[in-house]
A and B are shown apart, each in its own frame.
Chain A
Amino acid sequence: MKQDFTLEIHSDNNFSVLNRIVNILNRRRVRIKKLIAYEDATDFRRGVAVVLLFTTADMIEKVKHQLEKLIEVEHAVYYEGSSEYCELSSKHSAQVV
């Protein structure tokens, strides 16, 4: 059964990393509902992407491992539902403002 998942990806902040992440989701035809990506506030060489996805538990687990195969990705974690996404999103928006 499909449901919301918040996927958090920690990586190097290189050119094209975001493309690589989105490519994997696209290839698996995983629906992206929302996405935020930002540089690490203390180290611009690192970054985080947080994606709100609508997919199955089986697919999110597979996608997580495929993302972790990317050379620049340090690790990926996911949570059921959208509350983590909303929390991270509002926290990051507040920092920008």
Chain B
Amino acid sequence: MDALLTKTKIAELEKTPAPAKLKITGSESLLESLIAEGTDLIFGYPGGAIMPVYDALYHYTDRLTHILVRHEQGAIHAAQGFARVTGKAGVVFATSGPGATNLVTGLADALIDSTPLVCITGQVFAHLLGTDAFQETDVVNTTIPVTKWNIQVTEAKDIAEAVAKAFYIANSGRPGPVLVDITKNAQNEMIEPVKHKRCENIRTYKPKPVIQQSQVSAAAALINGAKKPYILAGQGVLLADATEELKSFSEKTGIPVASTLLGLGAFPSDHPNYVGYLGMHGNYGPNLNTNQCDVLIAVGMRFDDRVTGNVSKYAKQAKIIHIDIDKAEINKIIKADIAVHADAKEALGALTEQCNANKHASWIESFTQLNAIEYEKVVEKEFNATGILNMAEVINCLSNLTNGESIVVTDVGQHQMTTSRYYKYKSPRTNVTSGGAGTMGFALPAAMGAKLGIPEKQVVAVIGDGGYQMTVQELGTIMQYKIPVKIIVLNNSFLGMVRQWQQLFHEKRYSCTEMQNPDFIKLAEAYSIPARKVEDREHLQGALQEMLAATTPYFLEVVVGKEDCVFPMVPAGAGVSDVLLEPPTN
């Protein structure tokens, strides 16, 4: 009888809703805010000053997945990979002092490449600020130049609002990284629960400019009168989700499109109006014809020096139309004749309406002819090489096997330029690389983040042997969470791009660029990752097929020529039309 009474009482109690918590900690407020902002994945590394947050996280594992990386730099690059493929802000946790300073490279990378991130760092107790306490670093001042915005929060009641502002700023306008530094007392402090309110406006911040019709009309008039118009598409097209608008604009006006490094994927590489990739190692036609066009239409790109070469020799004959959401980019490097300060989607839509239907067949043909010269002098030789393998044939084979449809994450150097040249990207947000900052060590963790962001897509990291060893510890993360990324290391036992410059411009003085590498296969196997090494052409395709078919992470080392160079090349200080197709003879 007593037992029955107890059972009845328990059943009644189960029907009664649990009383709302009277108070929550600042840490719980943080996690609730992150969830309210749509976060379900965090990359991080715990430590003393962020322990209250991690303690709270213990009770949120049903709603928040935390990936324990092996170094904070791995966390932030993983968050970048996640953000680049999903378009959502990547979230990072790190502790104070070295934990926070280890984020600096990733923040700088994300800022220059317009990647939305929200980084949460723990900080010492507020009463210890400025006292040189253990693991105290002035993170806010340290990260001012490498964040879009940052803030220090010292009271729990301010956490929710700071997080809301952080997401709004990170995602809006030209996206970028944001850092919220929270003192330990604020993480511990008990407060009344507050309902998270998303930020929709900041008095001093105007992320989306109002498009000026006069600017659009002036640009349209110039385009309609042009004989050799030319579109340079940058990452702004992808960030504005304007790939369809770009396609419609190009198709209606008949204008050829070239892509910057970060703009790859913004326009299908198999489209008849696509003429290639721009820049220091870009295609011959796009670089040479920059100095032949009469109207140059730059969309969501910032005229990086790797695109322009010597600016005094850049498109001097052309009228420049520059479309950008960031007003500070307009006239920063190249003076615009017509500036359209607007979101790329809106601007391209408006321009398509106002521009006349046209065709520029002979102009597009001139790109084809120039690219044919490049094919004969560079590409054909690389694809039909004998002897030791080269990077170009590996990437070409990968591109063919995946039909240009995988997410390809590259590091920095020769393999990156080769991938940009030979992987035939067809879709938006499939090219993930460190563009502006050129961060070696980016690719391995960024590929983890990309795979976790879009698990159904094949994600392939292409890395050099130098960059691979900068963040190789993240193999531990890949092992622990069984993240099925595919890793290709193109091993030339050199810091290849630096060596190339030493060969071409420093009379082959190979100063500190040759590497003695570990046994990469044993290293991968130590992390329980299946691994294979290819040293000859005969086994390349089979090895790539095996890698792509694997349902687990997979490591493939391909030994390539030690002293191969990437061509074409615009030498430093030269103009874009001074592009070299082979090493200079003298």
Contact = CB atoms under 8 A, between A and B. Distances in A.
Interface of A: 11-12, 15-16, 19-20, 23, 27, 61-62, 65-66, 68-69, 71-74
Minimum-distance CB pairs A-B, first 6:
A65-B328, A74-B204, A71-B149, A66-B328, A71-B205, A69-B328
Contact of A16 (B140, B203, B328): B140
A71 B328 contact: no
28 contacts: A11-B204, A12-B204, A15-B140, A15-B152, A16-B140, A16-B150, A19-B141, A19-B144, A20-B144, A23-B144, A23-B145, A27-B145, A62-B328, A65-B327, A65-B328, A65-B330, A65-B332, A66-B328, A68-B327, A69-B326, A69-B328, A71-B148, A71-B149, A71-B202, A71-B204, A71-B205, A73-B204, A74-B204
B172 to A, nearest CB: 10
Contact of A71 (B140, B141, B152, B169): B169
Contacts of A71: 148-149, 169, 202, 204-205
Interface string B121-151: 0000000000000000000110011001110
Given A12-B204, A71-B169, 15 more contacts: A11-B204, A19-B141, A23-B144, A27-B145, A61-B331, A62-B332, A65-B327, A65-B330, A65-B332, A68-B327, A69-B327, A69-B328, A71-B148, A73-B204, A74-B204
B205 A68 contact: no
B204 A62 contact: no
A23 B141 CA distance: 10
A68 B328 contact: yes
Contacts of A23: 144-145
Contacts of B145: 23, 27
B144 A72 contact: no
A74 B330 CA distance: 19
Nearest to A58: B331
Contacts of B150: 16
Interface in B175-232: 202-205
B186 to A, nearest CB: 15
A74 B327 CA distance: 14
Contacts of A16: 140-141, 144, 150
A15 B126 CA distance: 15
A11 B346 CA distance: 29
Contacts of B332: 62, 65
Contacts of B205: 71
A72 to B, nearest CB: 6
A71 B144 CA distance: 12
Nearest to A16: B140
Interface string B461-496: 000000000000000000000000000000000000
A96 B152 CA distance: 30
B485 to A, nearest CB: 35
A71 B148 CA distance: 8
B111 to A, nearest CB: 11
Contacts of A12: 203-204
Nearest to B173: A69
A12 B328 CA distance: 20
Contacts of B169: 71
Contacts of A65: 327-328, 330, 332
Contacts of A19: 141, 144
Contacts of B152: 15
Contacts of B202: 71
Contacts of B140: 15-16
B204 A72 contact: yes
A65 B144 CA distance: 17
B154 to A, nearest CB: 10
Contacts of B204: 11-12, 71-74
B175 to A, nearest CB: 13
Contacts of B148: 71
A61 B336 CA distance: 14
A19 B140 CA distance: 10
